[in-house]
Structure 1
């Protein structure tokens, strides 16, 4: 009888969370490339062992996060630990970023990303590939906002709060918060352990246990404590982050407290169905002061739908506000990257409207089609085409499906259709 000891299990692979030590660098195009071969991006399939690949990706993501965070700090943002009042980084916390001079701002932009992306990251497929670090993260958005004005008579840049809906799992061993993806690839006692066992008592942060709790904490604790009471709030929501924010605001008590402060709402890739909302005043706000950018193959900014939806497209349009193409046909995480200029221009236009939220209104838009009523010849019910006037019936051409049509009589031989050998076969016995 054999017994395997814990000490006999294979050790979990270790990789350094540093770009240079991992064999990568940031080139002049701001793209992460291989030091050994500068033409190559990150190579996930380092080995045939899945655990090794996952651990390398974990280290790479951590290195990219360090790069993004250092740049955000260089732009004047500070990391804030939640819940507020934490004095030691060894206590369970969730990190967010906020402008250092937030209390002095008359305009504050709240950014709620997807619950699958690390703090400050938009899309690793862009950050670690074609596009670069700034483009694949919120750095490009922060830079754009810092070049804007806060109002017609306020030339100062707006304040910024970057929420963190993903990193809500606390790791006591690493003394940091992890996303669900990172928790699965985090260091384990061995390479064959099944993953981190997440419990509320050990791995959750007070008042930020879920993404919904985190959104509530941002609005009810961070905003009152870190911003002026009269500061206007502008919201950018991405993917399920936008849906969670809408769920929170779609309450009579909540919206009654915030509707005087929330100036506008940019929804990117959300799927919250307006007909399921309960608060009529919030639905009126969406119609008048919100815009949505969605996945679509149309050019950026193409009008897809008005506030009442568009039944003539397969794109989800029941947002309750004007809907535009985000210029991204496939991935929700890439919508803000592609639609950055359109979103920032819209936010600036709202902020520069005299008296801001009191006077800004979405323009009346309507999406119509030239062929809403099809002629009889194009009626999709082809069983009735013969009832239309002769001059409106589709043309009919007669032909034959016989593949031998057009072959002369002397070619009408079955051997002509047999497979022709490339050359005469020789007698194998003579070879």
Structure 2
């Protein structure tokens, strides 16, 4: 039972402190924490089940994105797996590449990885190149970023972006010498931004501005006199 799951076990009373985590009883060797689990999957599961020449396409969701990139950024791990990687797909990636130190992995990451982010933009809309997009608030994530069309929950990105995400993995696996195509990001119009076909009011020549005038407002006594003359009741009454 994991530490998180143990918190859901019913207790004898409300005053009990909870279940004590005993590593010898509750921890699985080499899977004691998420980082150890990721390393175990690579070293033991993939190492044992995948054929020696098989290419590997990586798909990570949420917090796993950081764990996978950290594992592959390690020089020793990259020496084992780098030549076998086909592509990396990160769903819900939010971790800047500041901590990446392996030049070979960073180069691969920029050329053969893609991230789908939480966004209200239409599906597959380019959001940022590997260097990020300050206007969208996206830091340098190290790989091209696209919209998943899921505005709130990272867990729903695999559902929303399934088709284009899997198409990317397939293209990377079947295209010789595949590299990410150039990404062109269209800036959103800011609320205070004037479209190119419009001219700010202050820049319009005076002779082109429409004439705006106001009729003089009559006093109450003048309105009374006008009513007596025309027989009409003033509109303000």
CA–CA distance in 2 between the matches of 1:204 and 1:237?
23
Give the alignment of 1:318-329 within 5 angstroms.
318-329=140-151
Alpha-carbon contact 1:287-1:321 (below 8 Å) kept? yes
Partner of 1:297: 120
Report SS of the residue matched to 1:237. Answer: strand
Give the alignment of 1:49-128 within 5 angstroms.
none
Alpha-carbon contact 1:232-1:261 (below 8 Å) kept? yes
Within the candidate set 58, 75, 83, 1:235 is matched to 58
CA–CA distance in 2 between the matches of 1:298 and 1:348?
24
CA–CA distance in 1 between the matches of 2:189 and 2:123?
23
**TM-score, normalising length: structure 1:** 0.44
Partner of 1:197: 20
Gaps of 5+ in 1: 1-169, 171-177, 379-384, 399-405, 411-431
Give the number of the structure whose residues are more often helix, by fraction.
2
Alpha-carbon contact 1:232-1:263 (below 8 Å) kept? yes
CA–CA distance in 1 between the matches of 2:147 and 2:111?
19
Partner of 1:366: 184
Partner of 2:153: 331
Alpha-carbon contact 2:3-2:21 (below 8 Å) kept? no
1:192: Cα distance to partner? 4.7
Gaps of 5+ in 2: 222-237
RMSD across aligned C-alpha pairs, in angstroms?
3.2
Are 1:312 and 2:135 counterparts?
A: yes
Partner of 2:6: 183
Query: CA 1:289–1:187 in 2, change beyond 3 Å: closer, same or farther?
Result: same
Structure showing greater radius of gyration is: 2
**TM-score, normalising length: structure 2:** 0.77
Report SS of the residue matched to 1:260. Answer: helix
Query: CA 1:297–1:218 in 2, change beyond 3 Å: closer, same or farther?
Result: same
